[in-house]
Amino acid sequence: MTVIGLGPMGRAMVGAFVDSGHLVTVWNRTASKAEDLVARGAVRADTVEAALAANELVVLSLTDYAAMYDLLGSATGALRGRVLVNLSSDTPQRARAAARWAAEHGAIHLAGGVLTPPSGIGQPESSTFYSGPRAAFETHRETLAVLTATDYRGEDPGLAPLYYQLTMGMFWTSMMSWLHTLAVARANGITARELLPYATSALDLRYFLEFYTDRIDADEHPADVDRLSMGVASIEHVAHTTRDSGIDPTLPETVLEIFRRGEAAGHGDRSFTSLINTFTPRP
Ligand code: NDP
């Protein structure tokens, strides 16, 4: 296969392919990044056209989809018959547009969403979402499984980026809540290390997710275990403690504002899960 894009992720992917005995052609805008990979057995193509011509399977690991157009936009004549497995992160709409663009040039585009840092490449417990034409995915599934376990989400090219962005939304907001908490802790003389056991416990939300999932799917929000108004009081205490610690309260105050919106909409005596409808108002 060919790998185009030798950032930390692409380099890890080339390493995993080489280690599993594959012959890998590589290309990168900054050619010097290929040197150590060539020393490990990869083959450097002289041009992006040559990289595309070398193999049917072309893995892209670029910053985003714009980089793909920058790179391949002038080499579209070499795209015919290629299967582009785009493991660059971007949005569902851009993946759908890329699938159309590739098809116009006689290529197949499979979108991916890699759920691991470069250190997880080559580890079977890591996972990557894929979407796009099933037959092309099945043809290359075994090869792609060298990188991580594969999780095929469906034919709609937007599905892999969609699932990826859904998980990234949770990842970043959770990490920000952790950082904010550490700022409040630090202002009170508590280190990240000292808080670690409590942070891991607080962010282990599995029990709550499992408890509320079916209720949310049924759009049922009984107040048998929590009341939104109780949540308002709880977040107020968090915001207050944040301000008293001299820390920017934007994060808890934003959460408080969402809770208050729910209360104003008359959901005070329902579960906090009823807030889902403040994000998606019904017509
Ligand atoms: P980087 O942004 O570090 O590397 C990007 C690669 O894209 C480099 O090879 C770079 O070339 C190339 N590139 C960027 N812009 C252009 C352009 N306009 N024209 C040509 N080449 C371009 O990303 P990573 O390697 O870290 O990640 C790759 C993808 O994987 C990203 O979409 C990222 O979101 C995703 N990902 C990354 C993770 C991580 O932890 N790193 C985790 C999960 C997903 P050059 O070397 O010349 O600059």
Give 93-108 pLDDT, tens digit per residue: 999 999 999 999 999 9
User: Residue 69 — φ and ψ, nearest 5°?
Assistant: -65, -40
Q: Show the ligand 1 pocket: residues with CB < 6 angstroms.
A: 5-10, 28-30, 33, 61-64, 67, 70-71, 88-89, 114, 117-118
| pLDDT tens digits, one per residue of 212-242 | 999 999 999 999 999 999 999 999 999 999 9
How do the domains of the chain map onto residue ranges? Answer: 2-155, 164-279
pLDDT of residue 127: 97
How many Å lie between the centroid of ligand 1 and the Cα of residue 247? 34
Instruction: Look up residue 4 and give its amino acid.
Output: I
| pLDDT tens digits, one per residue of 49-92 | 999 999 999 999 999 999 999 999 999 999 999 999 999 999 99
Instruction: Look up residue 218 and give its amino acid.
Output: A
pLDDT at 258 over 90: yes
Q: Where are the alpha helices (DSSP H) in 20-133?
A: 35-39, 48-54, 65-72, 92-104
Q: Which atom of ligand 1 is nearest to the CA of 90?
A: 32
Fold of 2-155: Rossmann fold (3.40.50)
- Element holding 183 (H helix, E strand): helix 159-187
Residue nearest ligand 1's atom 17 by CA: 67
| Closest to 148 measured CA to CA, from 99, 113, 108, 111 | 113
pLDDT of residue 172: 97
Question: Is the CB of residue 123 less than 8 Å from the CB of residue 96?
Answer: no
The model's confidence at residue 281, banded by pLDDT at 50, 70 and 90, is low
How many Å lie between the centroid of ligand 1 and the Cα of residue 61? 6
How many Å lie between the centroid of ligand 1 and the Cα of residue 183? 30
pLDDT at 282 over 80: no
* Over residues 135-156, mean pLDDT: 98
pLDDT of residue 280: 81
Name the percent of the chain lying above pLDDT 70: 99
| Closest to 92 measured CA to CA, from 105, 108, 111, 79 | 111
pLDDT of residue 153: 98
Residue nearest ligand 1's atom 42 by CA: 117
Question: Is the CB of residue 59 less than 8 Å from the CB of residue 3?
Answer: yes
pLDDT at 283 over 70: no
How many Å lie between the centroid of ligand 1 and the Cα of residue 6? 7
Residue nearest ligand 1's atom 22 by CA: 67
Residue nearest ligand 1's atom 19 by CA: 67
* Over residues 161-176, mean pLDDT: 97
pLDDT at 44 over 70: yes
Residue nearest ligand 1's atom 44 by CA: 114
pLDDT of residue 215: 98
* Over residues 134-140, mean pLDDT: 97
Mean per-residue pLDDT over the chain, rounded: 96
- The CATH classification number of 164-279 equals 1.10.1040.10
Q: Which atom of ligand 1 is nearest to the CA of 89?
A: 32
